[in-house]
């Protein structure tokens, strides 16, 4: 049981690291050239091929934007070796492209649909309603919390929310900080235990 917890926490740690790398890559490729800073993103489900994310970013002029980012895998051939051999090797690259962009000030309502159901879907009301399906309900609340914080900071009016559990939207600062510390300490503890287990000699049958 203890080893299963170690593996689970190690997996969570790997996911956090991968998310951090993905954030840095999108910041470098998409947002930094436009002088924007990526604040939050979550993966979403879309009918088209490839991975999709919904992102929220802030420009130097404090304009907050929401955008749908599509990630596609492209494969290119590169020549290598001497001129006579004409050897080619393939290079797999990830191509990021913003397919939809909105301003946060144009967002009139965020509808969570049903706060009593574990529903990863939510509705963004602009001129038209955009349905967004997160990969999990937790990711959905993570993104909405970021929208609320940015709206409170950069918009004259508070963001209009409907059908959300408010306790998960604006937890108390004590609870939030305490929760972050507990999760971080657990990750470090189980990661350390996993390293120790990997270094222990395995008994051999006689």
How much is the pLDDT for 161?
97
Phi, psi for 146 (deg, rounded to 5): -65, -40
How much is the pLDDT for 90?
47
- Tens-digit pLDDT profile for the chain (206 aa)? 555 555 555 555 556 667 888 999 999 999 999 999 999 999 999 999 899 999 999 999 999 999 999 998 765 555 555 555 444 444 556 789 999 999 999 999 999 999 999 999 999 999 999 999 999 999 999 999 999 999 999 999 999 999 999 999 986 544 344 444 544 555 555 556 555 555 655 555 54
- Say if residues 124 and 132 touch (Cβ distance below 8 Å): yes
Distance, in Å, from the CA atom of 86 to the CA atom of 80, rounded to the nearest integer, reads: 7
DSSP for residue 157 = S
Which residue stretches of the chain are H helix? 2-26, 137-154, 166-169, 173-199
How much is the pLDDT for 73?
76
Of 64, 66, 69, 170, nearest to 126 by C-alpha is 66
């Amino acid at each position: 049981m203890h080893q299963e917890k170690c593996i689970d926490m190690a997996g969570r740690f790997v996911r956090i690291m991968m998310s951090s790398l993905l954030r840095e890559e999108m910041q470098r490729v998409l947002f930094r050239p436009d002088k924007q800073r990526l604040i939050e993103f979550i993966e979403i489900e879309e009918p088209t091929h490839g991975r999709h994310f919904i992102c929220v970013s802030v420009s130097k002029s404090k304009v907050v934007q929401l955008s749908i980012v599509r990630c596609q895998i492209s494969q290119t051939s590169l020549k290598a070796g001497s001129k006579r051999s004409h050897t080619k090797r393939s290079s797999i690259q990830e191509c990021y492209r913003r397919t939809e962009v909105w301003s946060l000030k144009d967002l009139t309502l965020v509808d969570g649909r049903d706060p009593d159901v574990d529903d990863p879907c939510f509705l963004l009301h602009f001129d038209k309603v955009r349905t967004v399906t997160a990969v999990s309900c937790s990711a959905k609340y993570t993104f909405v919390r970021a929208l609320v914080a940015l709206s409170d900071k950069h918009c004259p009016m508070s963001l209009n929310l409907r059908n959300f559990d408010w306790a998960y939207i604006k937890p108390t600062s004590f609870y939030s900080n305490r929760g972050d510390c507990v999760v971080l300490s657990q990750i470090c503890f189980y990661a350390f235990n996993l390293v120790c287990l990997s270094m222990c000699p395995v008994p051999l049958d006689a």
